[in-house]
Amino acid sequence: MEKKRNQVTIHHLFWYFLIFSVIGLLLETIYCYISVGVLESRKGFIWGPLCPVYGICGTALIYVLDKIDLKKSWQLFVAGFLIGSVAEYILSYVLEAIYGIRFWNYDYLKFNLNGRISIIFSIYWGALSVIIMRIVKHLIDKFVNKIKPNNKIIIETAIFVFLVIDCIVTVWGIQTYQNRLLYNIEYKTDSNRLLPKIREKIENNYFTNEKMSTTFPNLRVKTENGDEIWIKTLIDKQEEN
């Protein structure tokens, strides 16, 4: 008798995103350390151990693969290869539109498409799809199903509100960081009102170059000429001057 499949609800999708964002950050950090020998932040948000690219792509993989219900591992691999690549490619443009900068660029790898996806990471998406659908999804489903409905709503609402605030603060911080380095714009106010004073203090004392470069060490921006450069290159030039 075939085992009944677990119905994927909005609650499951939320936890897929959250858990894969954390797992993705961990894997990305380990991969960077092994391949480059550097231990650095790979976060996508200014607060919390999250890399939302993996959360979104992982959730998209489960949602689509669950709908088409593939039985064989090689089918999961091929579908995951394609779905993960498309999701990552689209997400690269979406994040650039939101933040105004590039979070990753695969130009240094062979067989890449516009630096947004590469064959090696597409293969990773295929392999991860098999692992996710064969093992990880069932474990997450089991965990989510055990949470009591009332507690689930409270926990998910609290986390969602935090993520929205985290996203807003991240966009604010990155724009401040970019304006300071690329356009030499720094917010200052002569007003005695509370909100302008708070904004000035946050932008100048919290979104510092040191904090932002440590949190997002691989950010890239486009100059007025359309050239893409590393933000940390701008910091080095400013320090030299």
Residue 61 has φ and ψ, to the nearest 5°, of -60, -50
Amino acid, res. 165: I
Mean pLDDT for each consecutive 10-residue tract of the chain (241 residues)? Answer: 65 95 92 85 91 91 89 93 93 83 82 92 93 93 92 95 96 90 83 90 92 87 70 66 58
- pTM given for the model: 0.84
Residue 215, token pair as written in the block:
């949190």
Q: pLDDT by residue (tens digit) across 165-222?
A: 999 999 999 989 888 887 788 888 888 899 999 999 999 999 998 899 899 988 877 7
3-class SS at 164? helix
Q: Distance between CA 170 and CA 216 in Å, rounded?
A: 10
Q: Quick one: pLDDT at residue 167?
A: 93
